[in-house]
Structures are given as C-alpha cells and as structure tokens.
Amino acid sequence: MRKWRSPACKRERVSRKWRSPAHERERVSHKWRSLARKRERVSRKWQSPAHKRERGSRKWQSLAHKIGKAAQLVPSINENDNNISQYTFHIFLNQTILMNYTLFAFLFLVSLHVTGRPASR
C-alpha cells in the first residue's frame, strides 16, 4: 500500500483524474452549455415582450383590423349623400380593371408573336 503523500500516489491520482469515464467528464461542460442556453432564452424573452410580439392569430387579427379600417375609408354603396364621390370611385375602379385587361391582352399577343416566329432566320 502506497503512502498517501508519496509522489507515486500523487501521480496516480492525477492520471486517474484524466482516466475518468466520458459521461462523468462531459457533465461539467454540459452544465455550462445548458446554463448558457437558459441565459440566451431569458435574454430573448426580454428582447421582444409577448404583448408587443405579433405571432399566430394575433397577426391575422391585426391584419383584419387594418383591412376593416381601409374598408371604412372606401365610400360605401348604402350612403346616398356622397353619391358623386362614390360614382367617381366606381369609374376609377372600372378604369383600372379595363387597363389591367388591356395590358394582359397586349402581353398575350406579344408572347404569341414571339413564340410563333419561325426558328430558322
């Protein structure tokens, strides 16, 4: 039996420290890693509070609210006192629709022209 303070015993103790099984050795670094993860999660939590964060149904609610606001600004059909502005608005709508159709027709004709060209030239 070796004496506890002998250099041989000390050497053995040091080497035993490094011969410890991997699952024991890993535990320390794993602990710090998990702590870091926890800290990161906490900081992320306070970066954007939940009541300010728009996620899931909240987002769509706000979007619907915005759409509703926009719909209020558009002249309604039921009111007869602002007939003139309503009329001009409808003219404007029809004009934009017609413009879109003409544009698409033109593009379609151009595409036909381009594809219908003879390959040999």
For residue 69, the model assigns a pLDDT of: 73
Query: How far is 41 from 35, CA to CA, in rounded Å?
Result: 10
18 and 42 assigned to the same domain: yes
Q: Over the stretch 39-76, which tens digit does the pLDDT of each residue have?
A: 666 655 556 666 666 566 666 677 777 777 776 666 55
CA-derived radius of gyration, the chain: 38
Query: Which residues form the domain of 17?
Result: 7-47
Per residue in 80-90, pLDDT tens? 555 555 566 66
For the chain, how many structural domains are there in total? Answer: 2
Does residue 43 sit in the same domain as residue 72? Answer: no
Q: Which two tokens stand for residue 4?
A: 């506890």
Same domain for 110 and 72:
yes
Neighbours of 75 (CB within 10 A): 15
The answer to the question of residue 1 being in a domain is: no
Q: Do residues 97 and 63 share a domain?
A: yes
**Do the domain assignments include residue 77?**
yes
Look at residue 46 in the predicted model and tell me its pLDDT: 57
Do residue 14 and residue 40 come from a single domain? yes
